[in-house]
Amino acid sequence: TQLLEQSPQFLSIQEGENLTVYCNSSSVFSSLQWYRQEPGEGPVLLVTVVTGGEVKKLKRLTFQFGDARKDSSLHITAAQPGDTGLYLCAGVDNYGQNFVFGPGTRLSVLP
Amino acid sequence: NAGVTQTPKFQVLKTGQSMTLQCAQDMNHNSMYWYRQDPGMGLRLIYYSASEGTTDKGEVPNGYNVSRLNKREFSLRLESAAPSQTSVYFCASSEALSLLSYEQYFGPGTRLTVT
């Protein structure tokens, strides 16, 4: 069974601070995705990383895929209250027929 | 363009009752999925359908059945509900942006409580 671990499980920070959350696995995935989920809603895809060592930037969010394609990180610069939510990573395998989700990091950004 | 829709949004069942969760997508995607989300466990795949007419078991299929009625609709049935099936259920569909890149879209979820 493929498993993804995420750390930290919970994170509460002040507006303006920087943070990094991590996603780790013992398995290799063909690609890895990050989602954000707000209460009462379904997850929304933020980014897909495909190549080992790849770095993608989405405004204040920076995503990195590990060289061995087993781990990933999400760095947020100058966090804002609108960044509050549950951040999920998902490993994609079997040509999109299997998505394995981590348990998530619940982020709270206080004004 | 509604994306992925799910009905109902909330449901309370007694142990042993049956029900069907409905899901429809209007994005012409081939692949559709059913997940359950429990606190601290992320999303777990129940069943998926790679194309119309095909379904495959995911990580936690026991106690569930699915039907891919057509390309748009993918339903999840609980034949005899159990308290362990209390959860939030999400339907999703996906399209391949490339051989390795897939974009998955989720519905708003169905919150099910089994007493």
Note the pLDDT tens digit of each residue in B77-88. 999 999 999 999
Strands (E), B30-97: 31-37, 43-49, 56-57, 64-68, 74-78, 87-96
Which residues of B lie closer than 8 Å to A, measured between beta carbons? Answer: 4, 31, 33, 35, 40-45, 48, 50, 56, 58-59, 90, 92, 94, 96-109
AA identity, residue A111: P
A4 bridge partner residues: A25
- Taking the CA of residue B16 and the nearest CA in chain A, the distance in Å comes to 27
Burial class (CB in 10 A: 0-12, 13-18, 19+), B58: buried
pLDDT value at residue A98:
79
| CA–CA distances in Å: residue A68 to residues A52, A73, B95 | 6, 13, 25
Q: Which residue of B has its CA nearest to A95?
A: B100
Q: Which tokens go with B99?
A: 């051989």
| Contact yes or no for A97 and B50 at CB 8 A | yes
Q: Who has greater pLDDT, B46 or A52?
A: B46
Q: Are B46 and B65 in contact (CB under 8 A)?
A: no
Q: Quick one: pLDDT at residue B103?
A: 83
B100 has pLDDT over 70: no
Per-run averaged pLDDT (10 residues), chain A, 111 residues: 87 97 90 92 91 91 90 96 95 77 95 94
> Residue B29: its pLDDT value, please?
92
Q: Exposed/middle/buried for A26, CB within 10 Å: 0-12, 13-18, 19+?
A: exposed
pLDDT of residue B113 exceeding 70, the answer is yes
Task: Give the model's pLDDT for residue A1.
Answer: 61
Residue A82: other Cβ atoms inside 10 A: 9
Residue of B37, B38, B104, B111 to mutate, interface with A, max A Cβ within 10 Å: B104
Length of chain A: 111
Residues of A in contact with B104 (CB under 8 A): 33, 45, 90, 99
Hunting for tokens 């920087």 — which residue is that?
A18
From A2-11, B14-23, B46-55, B91-100, the region with the lowest mean pLDDT: B91-100
Identity of the residue in B41, B45, B56 whose CB atom sits nearest the CB atom of A103: B41
Nearest alpha carbon to residue A92 among A50, A54, A60, A64:
A50
Burial class (CB in 10 A: 0-12, 13-18, 19+), A40: exposed
In this predicted structure, the answer to whether residue B41 has a pLDDT above a threshold of 90 is no
Token pair listed for B109:
């979820």
